[in-house]
Structure 1
Amino acid sequence: MARMVQCVKLKKEAEGLDFPPYPGELGVKIYQNISREAWMNWMDVQTRIVNENRLNLADARARKYVKQQMESYLFEDKNVEAQGYVPQS
């Protein structure tokens, strides 16, 4: 039987994730509060953010930016489509 969570992103009870999808406390927070459906939606958004902004995830600044976008999308109900990221030259 699937584990259910009260998803803060979708604002409904939905099937939860099988394990924390991110390291540390943030991963546990996502595991406890975000549904599988909302996480899959985030993965699509994240792919667009990385591709359209040509982010190199080996770069710590890029990872920090993606993490900030993830938290805004999942927990602050913000629209975080790929826009506005200007890497340092």
Structure 2
Amino acid sequence: MENLSTGKDYFLYFTKQLELLNDEELAECINNAVGIRAFGVSRQGYLWAICHQLELRQIDYSAIESEGGISFQRKVYINNKKLHLLPKIK
């Protein structure tokens, strides 16, 4: 792994990795981020890279859009270039 110290460093690092994934694999990355309470520059860069990929791929992410960003509170799937929420499991 490269010498990474800033959110931008991590963003660039994770962007390279996420570019190789198909849409379903990208949705799985979102789902893997759901429920994680930790935060730091590496996570910031990772989530920023996910958001960037959604925009580059022109995937409608309005289902998880929140004031000031994207919410990683619910799991999703992608269908026809649109994110959909998976039903909550009780």
Q: Which structure has the highest strand share of the two? A: 2
Above 0.5 in TM-score? no
Return the index of the structure with the highest Cα Rg. 1
Q: Which structure has the highest helix share of the two? A: 1
TM-score, normalisation: structure 2:
0.31
Choose between structure 1 and 2 for higher RCO, CA contacts under 8 A separated by at least 6 residues. 2
